[in-house]
Amino acid sequence: MSQQRFPPSLRPIAASRLAGMSAFQIAATAAVGLGVFVYYKANGPPVTGRPVFSKFGFHKLKLQSAELINHNTKRLRFELPDPTQPSGLTLCSALLTFGFPSGGWKPRPYTPVNDLDERGFIDLIVKHYPNGPQSTYIHSLKPGDRLLFAPIPKPTFPYKPNTHTHLTLIAGGAGITPMYQLARGILKNPDDKTRISLVWGVNEDQDIFLKDEFAALQKQHPDQFKATYVVATPEKGSKHLKGFVTKEVLEKVEGVTPGETKVLLCGPPPMEASLKGKKGVLEQLGFGAKDVSSF
């Protein structure tokens, strides 16, 4: 599949607008600035011999498999053009997906959850939102169908090992995927001594769809990683905290201390607003704007 770059007339706009933007803002800008014409030009022969997403470009990937991992979430595996190459993505990288439900142009960012060194495929975890056109479209795909992808040129949080002694990762719902990618990448690197506290807020116990994976990380790295789950409506006998990610919850999490930890957020807008907004939970705990970043 041929690789398409920003047209010369759009490169200055792309450079200025993509810097510092959120993934959702990038998605909207990419859709408007590049236009549907890219879709029709992204149908050439496969690019082989180098990682497909090592440079900006549009690529249609074939769905290999789709597994329902809870009542509304699927894990989908897409084949890369060259089975001998990894994706070319780095930690904290995400991909824009471009679907065309009902003939519309619907971009949305997703973070691959497989090991970035694995070759020949990427895995996405996609939660289905009943009123979400892109998640509905992706959930409708069958093995053999294709989806259009493009890498987001600049990670929202460009990670460098050992920059922070401690990271507090706060996720809500499907916002866990960039946190999982980052935590696993840090813990995989024996030279990276960054400690990690994960706080994941979900609606029900069954929404903790990466529980086994995080349990394995905690068992392998007990002094470096700890996960805390907060469930709005826990099942009977649940061992997890009940409610939402509040000031009282974060005060119980080891390491959530201003001046000693960097906080990363990824979740629904109302959750992020309650945590990051003016007089929000993190400000009440003493965190300044420079201490908190969002995916």
Helix, strand, coil percentages, rounded to 5, for the chain: 30, 25, 45
* pLDDT of amino acid 12: 35
Does 189 share its domain with 270? Answer: yes
For residue 229, pLDDT over 80 is answered with: yes
Q: CATH code at 104?
A: 2.40.30.10
Question: Within this chain, do residues 192 and 91 fall inside the same structural domain, yes or no?
Answer: no
**25, 118: one domain:** yes
Rounded to two decimals, the pTM is 0.84
Please measure the distance between the N-terminal and C-terminal CA atoms of the chain and give it in whole angstroms: 29
Residues 172 and 275 in one domain: yes
Could you tell me the strand order of the sheet in which 195-202 lies?
Answer: 241-242, 225-231, 195-202, 166-172, 262-266, 292-294
Picking from 151, 181, 206, the residue at the C-terminal end of a domain is 151
- List the domain range (segments joined by +) for residue 25: 8-151
Give domain status of residue 52, yes or no.
Answer: yes
Q: Are residues 142 and 197 in the same domain?
A: no
CA-based Rg of the chain, rounded to a whole angstrom? 19
What's the CATH code of the domain at 208?
3.40.50.80
DSSP structure class, residue 9: G
CA distance 89 to 67: 23
Residues 117 and 185: beta-carbon distance below 8 Å: no
Q: Residue 228 carries which DSSP code?
A: E
Average pLDDT of the chain is 85
- The tens digit of pLDDT for each residue in 125-158 reads 999 998 888 999 999 999 999 999 999 988 888 8
Q: Which of 83-87, 104-108, 211-215 has the lowest mean pLDDT?
A: 104-108
H-helix or E-strand spanning residue 265:
strand 262-266
Q: Evaluate whether residue 80 is within a structural domain.
A: yes
Report pLDDT digits (tens) over 33-63. 444 344 444 444 455 578 999 888 999 999 9
